[in-house]
């Protein structure tokens, strides 16, 4: 099993290109099931989750071809991929595939809308929380779906098609918003979704669906209005930049010091997170088509944050920010409101010398002058990269085990950091 070795102490200086967003790419790929024409996605990141979803879509009959590769060191950056679901050969998403990646459950919406039926395995639990699918089921039932749960599968039927309706989410759910919006594009009549997720990835999916012929208004707000159409066509769409990757590298620069230009991204994607980093004593400014991040000499200042749905502080950056706060000159408080079990990185950060105490959903972080390298273990995607951030500033050598978590969401992390002066290498086996 691969692991990553880090020798800390080097500031980061240079340029880091930001990849396409994983959290946008996955629903965009699934949207290809809505049409028998070709959906072409540009700037698709090369990630384990993307590769897994390609296998899942192939199981449904989607033809996938990769073209226009831009090669660096033998592999493709910013891939352009064609998805053609001309014939859906199977409306079942089996457990052995869905269990490997939770987002694959989202195929239930497009399959039900286009084919009138879907049989999708329940995804089960997750390392960072249970994340139940009740909102997905309730929302689809409001569009006229007939749903039964049997033997670990959701059997959904709409033999006469879905019917537009009004649905108010009892709590914000990005995944359920994706699914209900996709399903509503082919429903008869108008659908109104209230308390919808406002994340940039939701707006990006809406932009793609509109290019495919959908009639959607309100994307990026809490109220979506979708007028169903008889069919959707193909389109060409560029995946938006990864705001979580952007925030992660901004925090890495804040942790180590230095001066880095984050290319191909925008401050608008994560204003609250960048505000928290700037309050920690870091200079952040737009520059060209990217963001300049600098911290030269000054202390890291303590900052309190609470995770919230967009436009609040992202839960997917909580672990990374905690890594940064371990070196702050003072005490900070980090409160997690989205997932009930997203502090598993605390014990691993403690192995590096961090001082963190937990009380309910709040972590109190007392900054220390120095972290010390040690072997640590990744427990999930975002937790794993928080250990990398801490290791970059720790004295000596840090080894991060179970890096397959990193491969799910960070494209060429070692290469990007090494190009900016970090000592990071992957050790195979």
Active-site amino acid positions: 126
Q: For residue 132, say whether it is annotated as part of any ligand binding site.
A: yes
Q: How far apart are CA 372 and CA 379, in angstroms?
A: 20
Q: For residue 138, say whether it is annotated as part of any ligand binding site.
A: no
Q: For residue 4, say whether it is annotated as part of any ligand binding site.
A: no
Look up residue 150 and give its two tokens: 């049997």
Q: How far apart are CA 376 and CA 398, in angstroms?
A: 7
Q: How far apart are CA 267 and CA 31, in angstroms?
A: 27
**Cβ 124 vs Cβ 135: under 8 Å:** no
Q: For residue 149, say whether it is annotated as part of any ligand binding site.
A: no
Q: For residue 403, say whether it is annotated as part of any ligand binding site.
A: no
Q: For residue 102, say whether it is annotated as part of any ligand binding site.
A: yes
Q: For residue 134, say whether it is annotated as part of any ligand binding site.
A: yes
Token look-up 């406002």 returns: 198
Look up residue 19 and give its two tokens: 């990849």
Q: For residue 216, say whether it is annotated as part of any ligand binding site.
A: no
Q: For residue 22, say whether it is annotated as part of any ligand binding site.
A: yes
Q: For residue 89, say whether it is annotated as part of any ligand binding site.
A: no
Look up residue 174 and give its two tokens: 């990005």
Q: For residue 172, say whether it is annotated as part of any ligand binding site.
A: yes
Return the half-sphere exposure (C-beta side, CA atoms, 13 A cut-off) of residue 335. 6
Residue 257: which of 8, 11, 7, 10 has the closest Cα? 11
Look up residue 291 and give its two tokens: 């963001």
CB contact burial 219-247 (16+ within 10 A = b; e otherwise)? bbeeebbbebeeebebbebbbbbbbbbbb
Q: For residue 133, say whether it is annotated as part of any ligand binding site.
A: yes
Q: How far apart are CA 215 and CA 209, in angstroms?
A: 8
Indicate the annotated binding residues: 22-23, 102, 131-135, 171-174, 316, 338
Indicate the annotated binding residues for UDP-N-acetyl-alpha-D-glucosamine: 102, 131-135, 171-174, 316, 338
Indicate the annotated binding residues for phosphoenolpyruvate: 22-23
């Amino acid at each position: 099993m691969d692991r990553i070795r880090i020798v800390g102490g080097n500031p980061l200086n240079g340029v880091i290109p930001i990849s396409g967003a994983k959290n946008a790419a996955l629903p965009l790929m699934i949207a290809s099931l809505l049409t028998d024409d070709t959906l072409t996605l540009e700037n698709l990141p090369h990630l384990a989750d993307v590769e897994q979803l390609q296998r899942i879509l192939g199981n449904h009959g989607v033809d996938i071809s990769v073209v226009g590769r831009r090669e660096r060191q033998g592999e493709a950056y910013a891939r352009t991929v064609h998805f053609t679901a001309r014939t859906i050969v199977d409306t079942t998403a089996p457990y052995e595939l869905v269990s490997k990646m939770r987002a694959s459950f989202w195929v239930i919406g497009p399959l039900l809308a286009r084919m009138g039926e879907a049989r999708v395995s329940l995804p089960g639990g997750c390392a960072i929380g249970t994340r139940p699918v009740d909102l997905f089921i309730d929302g689809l039932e409001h569009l006229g779906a007939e749903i039964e749960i049997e033997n670990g599968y959701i059997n959904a039927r709409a033999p006469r098609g879905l019917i537009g309706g009004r649905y108010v989410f009892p709590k914000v759910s990005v995944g359920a918003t994706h699914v209900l919006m996709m399903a509503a594009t082919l429903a008869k009549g108008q659908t109104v979704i209230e308390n919808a997720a406002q994340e940039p990835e939701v707006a990006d999916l809406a932009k793609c669906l509109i290019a495919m012929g959908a009639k959607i208004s309100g994307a990026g707000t809490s109220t979506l209005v979708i007028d169903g159409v008889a069919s959707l066509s193909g389109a060409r769409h560029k995946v938006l930049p990864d705001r979580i990757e952007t925030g992660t590298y901004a925090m890495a620069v804040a942790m180590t010091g230095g001066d880095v230009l984050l290319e191909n991204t925008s401050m608008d994607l994560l204003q609250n997170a960048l505000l928290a980093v700037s309050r920690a004593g870091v200079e952040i400014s737009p520059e060209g088509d990217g963001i300049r991040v600098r911290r030269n000499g000054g202390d890291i200042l303590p900052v309190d944050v609470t995770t919230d749905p967009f436009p609040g502080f992202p839960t997917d950056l909580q672990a990374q920010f905690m890594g940064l706060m371990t070196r702050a000159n003072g005490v900070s408080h980090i409160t997690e409101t989205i997932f009930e079990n997203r502090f598993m990185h605390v014990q691993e950060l403690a192995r590096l010398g961090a001082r963190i105490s937990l009380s309910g959903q709040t972590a109190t972080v007392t900054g220390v002058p120095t972290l010390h390298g040690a072997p640590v273990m990744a427990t999930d995607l975002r937790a794993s990269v928080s250990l990398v951030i801490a290791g970059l500033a720790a004295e000596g050598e840090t080894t991060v085990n179970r890096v397959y978590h990193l491969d799910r969401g960070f494209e060429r992390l070692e290469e990007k950091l090494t190009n900016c002066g970090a000592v990071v290498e992957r050790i195979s086996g």
